[in-house]
Structure 1
Amino acid sequence: MIQYPVLAADAVVGVTAPSSGVPEELHDLLKTASMRLRRQGHEVIIQETAWTQESVRSAPAAKRAEEFHELMKNDKVGLILPPWGGELLIEALEFINFADLKNKWVLGYSDTSTLLLAITLQTGIATAHGTNLIDLRGEYTDLTTGMWKKVLSTQRGSFILQTSSSHYQKQWKHDEPSPCVFHLTELTEWKTVSGKPAVMKGRLLGGCVDTIRHLIGTPYGDVKSFRNTYLPGKPLLWYMENCELSPTDLRRSLVQMKYAGWFENCGGVLFGRSAVNASVDGYSAENVYRELAEELGVPVVYDIDCGHQPPQITFINGAWAEAEVDPAGKGTILQHFI
């Protein structure tokens, strides 16, 4: 049975950096984001690694895992929220005692999704792919991102509906700060490979394809055991976002996932928007999506609200979900905490 944490209104938020920390010149971002949470009634505990960064890491792998466990063992903490992702979280997995993890939320995206997926596959504890801490530093938050609290507050046995955003951010403009952090200038349109409306169902798993692909063949990426334990005979519904992979590298990664059995009994695949979808010798991301849909025989939806072109829907690894896309390119994600 999947375990679902429940976020209390006054939950204590623990901040640690299992991948990248915040360099000194950007400490104001961390301070501002923490202040926003405190003003909303949350105590915020910031661990040492959140303030440090050297050679693409916040700290040595064992130190990062140690801090994560400290927050896990702290009964006051209801949510662990890294400042952002990074590059080498995978190094810390061997130092994490998954059998000792408590039923509390871990939220984030990018490289943080490496940890999220590993936790859910190893333990059956639901994890949350959505906003990171730094992106909560604005004076206000857009409606899509702002759903994270309602999603994490959902009780077991209940459900939560999220809808596609009206607009998204095409590129980051750090030299033009705005009150809501994101510059939501582009019209959002969820697209299907078929060009027709789509409906898909399954238990959610996913994350940043750049990093979660490296769990294949390791103890931390045992999708088959998870499937047999938590949804025998039921489909998986995959969501993925691409940070840096070219279409050819994305294709290689998806083929490897298929060979590893990750797409067995798959109900569909959802892909987030990406700024790196330039074609390679005429081979585009749309070609990748179309080929995957043909090979798996399932609906494939892309340009959804997930990843490095915000805002982001909060996806719960382990939740039973129903995803729909209508003829106008509007989408919904209904997640059941069962």
Structure 2
Amino acid sequence: MIVYPRLPQPATVGVTAPSSGVSREAHSLVREAVARFEQQGYRVVVGETTWTQHKAKSAPARVRAAELNAFLHDDDTDLVIPPWGGELLIEVIEHLDFNAIGRKWVMGYSDISVLLLAVTLRTGMATAHGTNFVDLRSEYTDPTTAAWEQVLRTREGESISQTSSSHHQASWNEDASAQGVYHLTEPTVWKVVRGDRMEASGRLLGGCIDVIRHLIGTPYGDVRAFRERHIQGETILWYLENCELVTVDMRRSLVQMKLAGWFENCAGILFGRSGVHIPREGYTELDLFEEIADDLGLPVAYDIDCGHKPPQLTLINGAYAEVTVEAGGGTLVQTFRS
């Protein structure tokens, strides 16, 4: 069965950096986010790793793991959310005490999706693929991003519906208008491989393909055992987003996932928007989407609201989801079904 945390009111938020911390010149972003959360009634506890960054990580692996364990095991912490992603979260996985993790939400994306997927696969506790802490610092938040609170306050047995955004961000520009963190200028269009409509349902799993692929073959990436122990063989609906991979590397990663059995009993795949469109000898992103759809005989949608071109839906690993994509838009209904 799947266990769903609850986000109470008021709630305590633990901010820790199991991947990258925040360099001194960007500390103001953390302080702004803390102030914003406190204005909304949250109690915020910021760990020491949040404030440091050296050689592609906030601190040595055991230090990061110890602080993360402290937040995960603390009964007074309701939500653990890193400041942002990074590169080397996978170093801390072997040092985590999964058996002692309390019933609390963990939310983030990018490199943080390694932690999210590992926690859900190992423990059956739902985790939230959504925005990170510093990107919630603005007075104005678009409706797609702002839905994170409503999603995390959904009760077990209830359903929550999210729809595609109207516009998305083309690129990051920290110097632009301070009205909002994101600058949503491009019309959002959800697309379906070889079709105009897609419907699929299953238990959500996914994350940033660049990093979650490294869980394959480890004790923290056993999708088959997860299906047997926690969802009684139900189908899986995968969501995947690409941060840095060129098309051939992404294709290799998808084939590896297939060979590892990750796509067994799969209902479909949802690919997030990517800012990386680097063909190799004419081999494009659409080519690889078509090939994986043909290989698996599954419906595939792409350019959904997920990943490094905000905004993004709050996707719950382990939740039962029903997705409909048509006419350039989409609806995702998640049910917190045990």
Settle same-fold status: TM greater than 0.5: yes
Which residue pairs with 1:72 in the alignment?
A: 72
Which residue pairs with 1:253 in the alignment?
A: 253
Which residue pairs with 1:8 in the alignment?
A: 8
| Distance of 1:331 and 1:178 partners within structure 2 | 29
Q: CA deviation at 1:322?
A: 0.3
1:324 aligned counterpart, secondary structure: strand
Q: TM-score when scaled to structure 2?
A: 0.99
Q: Tell me if 1:91 matches 2:79.
A: no
Which residue pairs with 1:132 in the alignment?
A: 132
Any conservation in 1 of the 2:75–2:102 contact (CA below 8 Å)? no
1:204 aligned counterpart, secondary structure: strand
* Alignment CA distance shift 1:237-1:211 (3 Å): same
1:53-75 C-alpha deviation (Å, 9 max, x unpaired)? 00010001111111011112222
1:164-216 C-alpha deviation (Å, 9 max, x unpaired)? 00000010011224311101000000000022210000100000000000000
Q: Which amino acid aligns with 1:331?
A: G
2:78 aligned counterpart, secondary structure: strand
Which residue pairs with 1:117 in the alignment?
A: 117
Q: Which amino acid aligns with 2:65?
A: A
| Distance of 1:97 and 1:86 partners within structure 2 | 22
Q: Tell me if 1:20 matches 2:16.
A: no
2:321 aligned counterpart, secondary structure: strand
Q: CA deviation at 1:126?
A: 0.3
Q: Tell me if 1:182 matches 2:194.
A: no
| Distance of 1:249 and 1:61 partners within structure 2 | 27
1:106 aligned counterpart, secondary structure: strand
Deviates more, 1:202-211 or 1:191-200: 191-200
Q: Tell me if 1:203 matches 2:196.
A: no
Which residue pairs with 1:281 in the alignment?
A: 281
Which residue pairs with 1:332 in the alignment?
A: 331
Any conservation in 1 of the 2:240–2:271 contact (CA below 8 Å)? yes
Q: Give 1:156-305 correspondences, 5 Å limit.
A: 156-305=156-305
Q: Give 1:53-64 correspondences, 5 Å limit.
A: 53-64=53-64
Structure 1 residue runs without a partner (length 5+): none
| Distance of 1:298 and 1:234 partners within structure 2 | 16
Which residue pairs with 2:101 in the alignment?
A: 101
1:255 aligned counterpart, secondary structure: helix
Q: Tell me if 1:31 matches 2:31.
A: yes
| Distance of 1:278 and 1:89 partners within structure 2 | 26
Q: CA deviation at 1:226?
A: 0.2
| Distance of 2:178 and 2:273 partners within structure 1 | 21
1:160 aligned counterpart, secondary structure: strand
| Distance of 1:44 and 1:8 partners within structure 2 | 14
Any conservation in 1 of the 2:235–2:267 contact (CA below 8 Å)? yes
2:148 aligned counterpart, secondary structure: helix
1:275-309 C-alpha deviation (Å, 9 max, x unpaired)? 10221110011111100000111100000000000
1:179 aligned counterpart, secondary structure: coil
Structure 1: 4+ residue segments shifted above 3 A: none
Number of aligned residue pairs:
337
| Distance of 2:70 and 2:195 partners within structure 1 | 48
| Distance of 1:177 and 1:123 partners within structure 2 | 42
2:184 aligned counterpart, secondary structure: coil
1:252 aligned counterpart, secondary structure: helix
Which residue pairs with 1:155 in the alignment?
A: 155
2:313 aligned counterpart, secondary structure: coil
Deviates more, 1:237-246 or 1:174-183: 174-183
1:85 aligned counterpart, secondary structure: coil
Any conservation in 1 of the 2:322–2:332 contact (CA below 8 Å)? yes
Any conservation in 1 of the 2:144–2:311 contact (CA below 8 Å)? yes
1:74-120 C-alpha deviation (Å, 9 max, x unpaired)? 22210001000000000000100111111100000000000000000
Q: Which amino acid aligns with 2:334?
A: Q
Any conservation in 1 of the 2:2–2:231 contact (CA below 8 Å)? no
Any conservation in 1 of the 2:12–2:42 contact (CA below 8 Å)? yes
| Distance of 1:78 and 1:321 partners within structure 2 | 24
| Distance of 1:210 and 1:50 partners within structure 2 | 23
1:219 aligned counterpart, secondary structure: coil
| Distance of 1:231 and 1:161 partners within structure 2 | 21
Deviates more, 1:223-232 or 1:197-206: 223-232
| Distance of 1:249 and 1:263 partners within structure 2 | 18
| Distance of 2:92 and 2:43 partners within structure 1 | 26
Q: CA deviation at 1:139?
A: 1.5
Any conservation in 1 of the 2:113–2:212 contact (CA below 8 Å)? yes
Q: CA deviation at 1:229?
A: 1.4
| Distance of 1:117 and 1:151 partners within structure 2 | 18
Q: Tell me if 1:308 matches 2:301.
A: no
Q: CA deviation at 1:230?
A: 2.1
